[in-house]
Structure formats: C-alpha cells, structure tokens
Amino acid sequence: MAFVRALAIIFSLLLVAAAAGFWWWRAQSASPQAAVPFDPAFHRLTPEEIVTLPLATRFDMPLGSQHGALTYNARPFRIARHLGDDLNGIGGQNSDLGDPVFAAGAGRVVYTGMPGSGWGKMIILAHRLPLGDEAGPVVQTMYAHLDQILVKHGQMIQRGEKIATVGTAEGAYLAHLHFEVRQGPYINPAEGYADTPLNRLSPETFLSARRGAGAADLGPAPRFKE
C-alpha cells in the first residue's frame, strides 16, 4: 500500500508541475511584448477609413518655418536612390537634435513604431486630398529617425501640429528628419532607398504645389498644441 500511495503522490506532483508549466507557457505566448512581424497585407486603409480621413487642403514643411526656412535638404529625393528628403536645421551636425517635427498636413496617424533596418522611430500620417488633386485620393507623409514620438496610432492631427522631435535613429546618423510623401492606401514602413521611386513623390515638389503660406512668409509653423 505504501508503494501505491507513493506512486499517487508522485503522480499528483507531476500533474501540478504540468499544469503550472502549461499556465506559464500560455502567459508567455499571450504577452503583448511578443514580436509580431510587420505584415503590410493587414495595413491597407479600407474605403471607409479613407473617407473618414481628415481632408488636407494645404501642406507645409515639417521642419523649420512653414517654408522650411532655417533648414536645408541634405539628400534630396532620388539623389543616390533616396526615396525622401533628408531635412536638417541650418546649424548642421546634431544642432537640430530635439527640434520639433510638424505634421505637414491634416491627417490621421496610421503608423508609429520602430520598424527596424536603420529607421529608428517612425510616424506615418494618412491624408485625404481634395477631389481633383492628381496625387489623390490618399497620400501618406512619413517621418523617420525620430527622437520622440508625441502622437498615438489612430489620432487625428492638424497641419502644423508638433508630432515628434528630430532624432538620430538611435545614434545611427547625425540628427536629421527623413521625410517622404507616398501615394495610395498601403501602410508599410518599407525601405528608404530603391532603384525606382515606387509609390513615392518628391516631397519638395508635392509641398510647394500645395503650400498655403505666402512666398514671403518666414514665420514659424503653427503650433496648435504647445
């Protein structure tokens, strides 16, 4: 009988250990920190999401004044396969580290995060363009290498609102803002260099065609939430 009782005790202990192990495994796999690979197939704006995007009737520069005064473009669109503009404060080096990054137009936050491959922190805004705009109906503006992200996924954003600060992509570069304008409803951090422009437009050309401030205006971008 002692043998049977010992067996029963050992069996119960094994059961408890198995249950604890299973509970631990479930808790681990349900953890929100679990790395989820980015799948662009699940990041396409639906027609309903598109019609509820804020209408962007006007765009301004995301750095410096509304015209980008006090900034320069260190690597313009399509130079050395670049898919955006690299905007810097005129002080050069890291003098623009922590400078405010403004939303180029009214829109909604459709991506925030660190997608990897040298991007650092990134924000993507989606904008609905007025009917008849040749770049429409939807464009995205993308802001990368950020130091701080000040907005949340899904948030509605006004043009000129401070959404982030200029960073170094976690020390990968001297501080600057990598800025892109993209067409269409597919949300994907993707790559910053390619042989063809893909769905990217020249940010400078796009903004200057849709700019609201008069040519002589050197004032700062509007800061709705400072």
Shortest separation between residue 72's beta carbon and Zn ion, angstroms: 13
Kindly write out the interface string for residues 75-104 of this chain, putting x where it contacts Zn ion by CB under 5 A and - elsewhere.
-----------x------------------
Kindly write out the interface string for residues 20-49 of this chain, putting x where it contacts Zn ion by CB under 5 A and - elsewhere.
------------------------------
Question: In the complex with Zn ion, which residue's Cβ is closer, 129 or 177?
Answer: 177
Q: With contacts defined by CB under 5 A, how many residues of the chain interact with Zn ion?
A: 2
Q: How far apart are CA 115 and CA 146, in angstroms?
A: 12
Q: How far apart are CA 3 and CA 87, in angstroms?
A: 79
Question: In the complex with Zn ion, which residue's Cβ is closer, 118 or 185?
Answer: 118
Q: What secondary structure does DSSP assign to 75-120, as a single string?
A: E-TTGGGBSSEEEEETT-TTTTTT-EEE-SSSEEEEEEE--STT--
Q: How far apart are CA 140 and CA 107, in angstroms?
A: 9
Question: In the complex with Zn ion, which residue's Cβ is closer, 121 or 178?
Answer: 178
Shortest separation between residue 178's beta carbon and Zn ion, angstroms: 4
Shortest separation between residue 172's beta carbon and Zn ion, angstroms: 11
Phi, psi dihedrals of residue 75, rounded to the nearest 5°? -145, 90
Question: In the complex with Zn ion, which residue's Cβ is closer, 159 or 178?
Answer: 178
Shortest separation between residue 85's beta carbon and Zn ion, angstroms: 7
Question: In the complex with Zn ion, which residue's Cβ is closer, 173 or 186?
Answer: 173
Q: Are 182 and 199 in contact (CB under 8 A)?
A: yes
Question: In the complex with Zn ion, which residue's Cβ is closer, 45 or 87?
Answer: 87
All residues at 6 or more sequence positions from 219 whose CB lies less than 8 Å from its CB, including other chains: 65, 66, 213
Q: Which of residues 165-204 bind Zn ion (CB under 5 A)?
A: 178
CA 123 to chain CA centroid, Å, is 2
**Residue 135 CB-half CA count within 13 A:** 23
Q: Are 59 and 153 in contact (CB under 8 A)?
A: no
Q: Residue with the closest Cβ to Zn ion?
A: 178
Shortest separation between residue 194's beta carbon and Zn ion, angstroms: 12
Shortest separation between residue 166's beta carbon and Zn ion, angstroms: 12
Q: How far apart are CA 121 and CA 118, in angstroms?
A: 9
Binding residues for Zn ion (CB under 5 A): 86, 178
